[in-house]
Amino acid sequence: MKLLKLPVAALAAMLVALPVSQAGANELTIGLASEPSSIDPHFHNLGPNNAVARVMFDRLIMPDDKQRLLPGLAVSWKAIDDLTWEFKLRQGVKFHDGSPFTADDVVFTFQRAPDVEGSPSSFGTYLKGKTITRIDDYTVHIKTERPYPLMPNDMSTFSIVSRKHGEGAKTQDYNSGKATVGTGAYKFVEYVPGDRIVLERNENYWGDKPEWTRVTLKAIKSGPSRVAALLAGDVDLIEQTPTADIERLKNDANLTLSQGISNRVIYLHLDHDRDSSPFVKAKDGGDIKNPLKDQRVRMAISHAINRDAIVSRVMEGIAIKAGQLLPEGFFGRSPNLKPVEYDPALAKRHLSEAGVGDGFKLTIHGPNDRYINDAKIAEAVAQMLTRAGIQTDVVTMPRSVYFKRASRGGPDGTPEFSFILVGWGSGTGEASSPLKSLIHTYDKSRGFGASNRGRYSNAEVDKLIEDALATVDDAKRQDLLARATEIAINDGAIIPLHYQVNTWAARKGIKYRARTDEATVATDVISE
Amino acid sequence: MSVFITRRILQSLVVVFVMSLLVFFGVNIVGDPVDMLINPEADQEDIEAAIRALGLDRPIHEQYWYFLVNALKGDLGKSFIFAEPALKLILQRMPATLELAFAAMFLAVVIGIPLGVFAGLRPHSKVSKTIMAGSILGFSLPTFWVGLMFIMIFAVMLGWLPSTGRGETTSLLGIQVSFLTLDGLSHLLLPALNLALFKMSLVIRLARAGTREVALQDYIKFARAKGLSPSRVVLVHVMKNILIPVVTVLGLELGGVIAFAVVTETVFAWPGMGKLLIDSIQLLDRPVVVAYLMITVLMFIVINLVVDILYSILDPRVRLKDVKS
């Protein structure tokens, strides 16, 4: 048994001698659900990357936790004529290395952001069709070919990098930290792919002084492990708290939960296009003329869904039922739309009026790893529709397979499914984003309806959306967007279910300003 | 022996080629990486540009040809997500996984063999029965559940060990390792134990079965009769003879542990290759998945070869020669 002694002794020694790793009062460790793929702020336009970039690099306009546009590196902006926007830049701002921030850095960012080698999803989306001119050190003009009201929104999406460090810099130079010099609240310290990102406070930050001296971001993908890491005190804050654990964590005196509604609406899209839709069948399994093209059937489906039950049972109370594309407080929302009432009798009546009183067969397709409880929501919807006479099957699949099929899995790149569960978060924080992508007629050449997987098409709505996108006056644009939303929703273009509510959990004494854009940002973590 | 090895290498080349076909086509018919990569706000033009940039607009056989030509030059493609060579990404994370795998194997052997031998020598004692019952649990409890329980007990309830992550690393011969610092060791212990549990149970059962068989052999009786001390009988005569099945199985299992420590790495947020693999599968980072599986194939081939050679060293009766099938 000699063999045994050594390791056992070593184990015992380790168990006794373990240091209790307690971070200092002003240090913060965050457990993230997904890891950024790079530190280069322009490499990949995706949530986790943008959340990390946001604290190291400022933007011209900085959306706050409710996606309201606040002055960032630009102190003011206005349209000086139909085609030109003027941005006044903040003076006296220094990069992390002490070099001054000027209009040159903005001009340089305009060149670099859309054109990063190997970028899987570039910021060109927000920069194309715009030309920037440097007027003086602290003024730039941005010109567009057509009137463009979303300029401030677009300018709030990307990081301004230093020309001095960014010129010729590749993504690797940002990952190594060589070029990672911004004006942001936190400075880059270390990046170990797969493990951690370490940041430290920028003592000379122009804005509110950041609260934490040192911030460590750790990617802990598995939900239960993230919760365990918080319970064990290894991290101070976690994002995407699994809904099943929320009740239990709520009752834990050592923890604080921070919840906030997101800009993401979970909705159903239906086939508005094909006369014979592949996943709609008659009761006996035979072919049937696509009933989803009838507005009454779409409304019947909406009335047959008990949104309160979905929110209280499936989402365990952590969601808010939806009646349109964006929750309260967002620009371009209609004040007149309410969530559709659950009314099975009315649903049945609508169905008989539409000539399908006997019901039909339908398959709902949805992802099972994309939205909170997505597969369960699809199952609940299917049960409710089946009760209303529309016999509904459920098929869910991983998002890696789902989105391709839902977008272009059919013949000639058409959407494959008939009835799908999807979600949409408005990146710009206002209604034109979902209207343009989900509701407007699919028009490849003009870039409309890219995610219109139901191929909804309504000339009146299209006109309103296009007018809105060319109206710089805020009040008029608000009206146009609200009207477009009302017509589309009342026509059953999509059927909104609920808005997602996100939950952050933290050790006692720390709160998170829950962001509507779902990002976890160190500057929004505050101590009580 | 050299004939044997040459022949094995030639066979291996064929295996590698067939695997590259299977893996490449298998991975490429699933989904579309563009949907995972692109920002939802992007319009059709952006989406098409992304498809072109990744080379996904080319026919699949053409993509395979590029892959094959580059692979022969040692380039297994560039990650869609990180825009870095897939091989580099995998090698970057390999030390963490190797460390975890070897730590797990070490635990499995140093705990498993003594327990197994003990259970084999005294098959009817209460302790042996407990060990065997424990090994059944080790086999049958799912790894992720045991991992979470470890975290709950040792990190959350007792607070002895950190719950996740790798901890402090130091450089050893240019490779980052964590077993040289206390902080690193404390991070390593739980995941290694978690990964070791299944192998440990395997080793216990193999060692017990081997011991029971060997203990009845004439040469053991003879050694006893000769008056050798019981510890010498067990440590030299029994141990040496039960090691062959153990080495065979562990050799094969080592490959599995290195290549597919996925569950443990995910539960413990261990920054190794397994975590990279599972992330790449979920985000359809095809070049990384393909490169990973190709490396795995190569690894298994090498390990099997090494096991065969080890065999001949442990058991002089085994000679590697060109056996006609």
Average pLDDT over residues B317-323: 59
A498: helix, strand or coil: strand
How many domains, in total, are found in chain B? 2
Tell me which chain A residues have a C-beta less than 8 angstroms from the C-beta of B110: 3-4, 6-7
Same domain for B320 and B195: no
Q: Decide which of B270, B292, B316 is a domain's last residue.
A: B270
Average pLDDT over residues A370-377: 91
B284: closest chain A residue by CA: A400
pLDDT of amino acid B255: 77
Q: Decide which of B225, B249, B270 is a domain's last residue.
A: B270
Flag whether B226 is in a domain.
yes
pLDDT at A394 over 70: yes
Q: Do B275 and A194 touch (CB under 8 A)?
A: yes
Flag whether B275 is in a domain.
no
- What are the structural domains of chain A? 262-501 (3.10.105.10)
The sign of the dihedral angle between the CA atoms of B185, B288, B283, A63 is positive
Same domain for B73 and B95: no
| Average pLDDT value for chain A | 90
CA-based Rg of chain A, rounded to a whole angstrom? 25
Q: Do B37 and A229 touch (CB under 8 A)?
A: no
pLDDT tens for each residue of B280-309: 888 888 899 999 888 888 888 888 878 777
A321: helix, strand or coil: strand
pLDDT at A7 over 90: no
Distance separating alpha carbons of residues A137 and A208, to the nearest angstrom = 24
Same domain for B245 and B316: no
Same domain for B300 and B222: no
CB atoms under 10 Å from CB of A463, counted, come to 12
Closest to B167 measured CA to CA, from B158, B157, B176: B176
Q: Do B39 and A121 touch (CB under 8 A)?
A: yes
Please report the DSSP string for A322-389 in residue order.
Answer: -SSSS-TT-BT--SS--PPPP-HHHHHHHHHHTT-TT--EEEEEEESSSSTTHHHHHHHHHHHHHHTT
pLDDT tens for each residue of A14-38: 444 444 444 456 899 999 998 898 9
Tell me which chain B residues have a C-beta less than 8 angstroms from the C-beta of A11: 189
Domain hosting residue B39, numbered range: 1-81+283-325
What is the amino acid identity at position B300? Answer: F
Answer for the pair B46, A124: CB distance below 8 angstroms, yes or no: yes
Q: A193 at the B interface (CB within 8 A)?
A: yes
Distance separating alpha carbons of residues B18 and B189, to the nearest angstrom = 38
Same domain for B147 and B76: no
Same domain for B177 and B32: no
Mutate to test the interface with A, among B84, B91, B163, B288 (most CBs of A within 10 A): B163
Q: Is the pTM of this model over 0.95?
A: no
Residues belonging to chain A: 528
- C-alpha dihedral over B183, B187, B190, B195, to 10 degrees? -130
Counting one residue from A and one from B, how many pairs have CB atoms under 8 Å apart?
192
- The more confidently predicted of residues A454 and A10 is A454
Q: Do B164 and A451 touch (CB under 8 A)?
A: no
Same domain for B98 and B54: no
What is the amino acid identity at position B93? Answer: R
Closest to A292 measured CA to CA, from A323, A317, A310, A270: A270
What is the amino acid identity at position A93? Answer: V
Same domain for B156 and B22: no
* CATH code of residue B120: 1.10.3720.10
Distance separating alpha carbons of residues B170 and A94, to the nearest angstrom = 35
Q: B51 at the A interface (CB within 8 A)?
A: no
pLDDT of amino acid A119: 86
